[in-house]
Chain A
Amino acid sequence: GQQVMQIPQYQHVQEGEDFTTYCNSSTTLSNIQWYKQRPGGHPVFLIQLVKSGEVKKQKRLTFQFGEAKKNSSLHITATQTTDVGTYFCAAVDAGGTSYGKLTFGQGTILTVHP
């Protein structure tokens, strides 16, 4: 079945440093989504990528979808303490046998030191 690997598991940065988390799938994806979960909270949708090679930006956040639609990355420029939380990618398989299945990566826990 589909596997979604996300690295790194943990990342500690000083405020102002950049941060990147990577997501890799064993299968070709229909689309990929990114979520953020604040400590003690629930995951909240950030963005969805659909097209091969797609790049989207949200202020200091840049999201990329690989050309082969098997990997993705989230990059945060100049981190702030408000960026603290766990970032998850979530994959929708392009194959037909897992219709509707939304599989999450293990998440990257980001800590930002002021």
Chain B
Amino acid sequence: DGGITQSPKYLFRKEGQNVTLSCEQNLNHDAMYWYRQDPGQGLRLIYYSQIVNDFQKGDIAEGYSVSREKKESFPLTVTSAQKNPTAFYLCASSIGEGAEAFFGQGTRLTVV
């Protein structure tokens, strides 16, 4: 089955800890994205990557880091510098710039 997989679905962490969210796709897509969703604020872009070993900051990159060492994988690390990390995180991929984006099921992160 082709698709985009995020894990885990729910994640709990203590304040001050870094946490890495997984995103894997087997669609052979070049582009991958990370979004954060908070109630009433839609989807805000954290980082995006158009090609392996290259990525760009989105609108709310502070406190987050990513890597794109493989085409299939685009993990997101939420660092302790992120002031309000509790949110729903969505990963997406597309075949290229401006193309339809396919989303994973999302990871709901709760920091206590």
Contact = CB atoms under 8 A, between A and B. Distances in A.
Contacts, number: 65
Interface string B65-92: 0000000000000000000000000101
Interface stretch (A14-22, A60-68, A98-106): A98-106
A51 B50 CA distance: 24
B64 interface: no
B101 interface: yes
Interface string B31-64: 1010100001111110010100000101100000
Interface in A27-49: 30-31, 33, 35, 42-45, 48
A33 B101 contact: yes
B1 interface: no
Contacts of A30: 98
A107 B42 contact: yes
Interface residues of B, number: 28
Contacts of B59: 1, 103
Contacts of A105: 42
Size band of the interface chain A makes with B: 20 to 34
Contact of A48 (B33, B42, B100): B100
A102 B33 contact: yes
A54 B89 CA distance: 32
A41 to B, nearest CB: 8
A100 B105 CA distance: 22
Given A100-B50, A104-B42, A104-B43, A42 B104 contact: yes
A26 interface: no
Contacts of A45: 100-102
A102 B101 contact: yes
22 contacts: A9-B40, A31-B98, A35-B101, A42-B104, A43-B43, A43-B90, A43-B92, A45-B101, A48-B100, A88-B43, A90-B43, A90-B101, A99-B50, A100-B50, A101-B58, A102-B33, A102-B48, A103-B45, A104-B35, A104-B43, A105-B42, A106-B42
